[in-house]
Amino acid sequence: MAATPLSTNKFRLYFIVSWVIWAALYVGVLVRLGYDVKTAAIDSVVSNVFLALASVLVINNLRYYLPRKEQFLYLLLMCLTVAGLWLVLSRWILLLLFGPEASHFYSISIPIRFGVAVLIIGCVMLVSVVWYSREEQKEFEKRKNESERLAKDAELFKLRQQLQPHFLFNSLNSVNALIGSAPEQARKMVQNLSDFLRGTIKKEENQFIRLSEELEYLNLYLEIEKVRFGYRLKTELDVTPEALECKIPSMLLQPLMENAIKFGLYGTTGEVMIGLRARKVEKELVVAVMNPYDPDTKIQEGTGFGLKSVKRRLYLLFGRNDLLEINTTKDAFVVIFRIPDAHD
């Protein structure tokens, strides 16, 4: 561990004040027993300075070795050993200062001195063990949170990287189909695709962007899709001004619109309207993506990567599983997601 309780100003102040109060009480007890103030003060200073140093030794020892539940015998042995060493050392110093006449009083007070030393050192040990245990738990939680954050960032990055190839494969297949029949449309699609991918690379730097900026890239994507599907694809974006200023995870709308286009146009030859509506409701940004839906039509099989990736990203970013919901009516398939605490 990098620090001890004494490294904090608050604990150090408590430590010093406690010893000053205890030393004063020590003097008072000796004076009540008939000793003069000078003798009592010297005894108190010698005994308590060494006892305080012993406490510091114990605190630092526990910094490098913190016993677990099954090893508390170690604490008891250390407490008794330190108290015994303190008893011998303080007795030797006091006999040097007061001479042999102090030997009798010291000898009869040994049990009391030893008991007090064990009690004080035991309390210091208990406080230190609690402090170190809490610090160890904080470090563990910090490492755990950092590990989870790194894992989350790695997964988010992986999801965002997967989105581009998924969309890119579809677009390149469309370009390939258009090269022979409609080269001008193929050229336009390649240009739009280039602009879109250039924008997504820049967006990698920011996890959140304004909805207005996200819609700019979405429009590039929709232009690409309109080249693919021609007159069949119609889009309608209904976004309020205050919603435009809200922050949204980048690259979140494109997979939802891709999913809506994929399933909205499947099995039809006529025009299809794909809609997007965004509102700021209290502190949340609420976005709905809608496509036509026929419950009697067999749904085209697919990986469902778009919806899964969006739901997973929302969970990783906000820690909630209720931010994306899917609703169906007799003629519409609606995907709604919410961005909590949407700030502009």
Would you say 237 and 276 are in contact if contact means Cβ atoms under 8 Å apart?
yes
Q: Give the integer Cα–Cα distance in Å for 89 and 95.
A: 10
Would you say 87 and 33 are in contact if contact means Cβ atoms under 8 Å apart?
no
Segments making up each domain of the chain, as ranges: 5-143, 182-339
pLDDT at 273: 93
For residue 273, what are the β-bridge partners? Answer: 234
Coil/strand/helix, residue 266: coil
Coil/strand/helix, residue 324: strand
pLDDT means per 10 residues, the chain with 344 residues, are 75 87 85 80 85 87 74 80 86 77 70 86 87 86 76 64 64 78 81 77 68 90 82 93 91 88 81 94 93 71 68 86 90 92 64
pLDDT at 35: 76
Range 182-339 classified under CATH 3.30.565.10: yes
The answer to whether the predicted template modeling score (pTM) of the entire model surpasses 0.75 is no
pLDDT at 285: 95
DSSP H helical ranges for 182-280: 183-203, 211-229, 241-244, 253-264
pLDDT at 151: 66
pLDDT at 303: 45
C-beta atoms surrounding 175 within 10 Å: 18
Question: Quick one: which H or E segment has residue 48?
Answer: helix 37-64
| CA angle 225–227–230, rounded 5-degree value | 100
What is the bridge-based pairing of β-strands 272-281 and 233-239? parallel
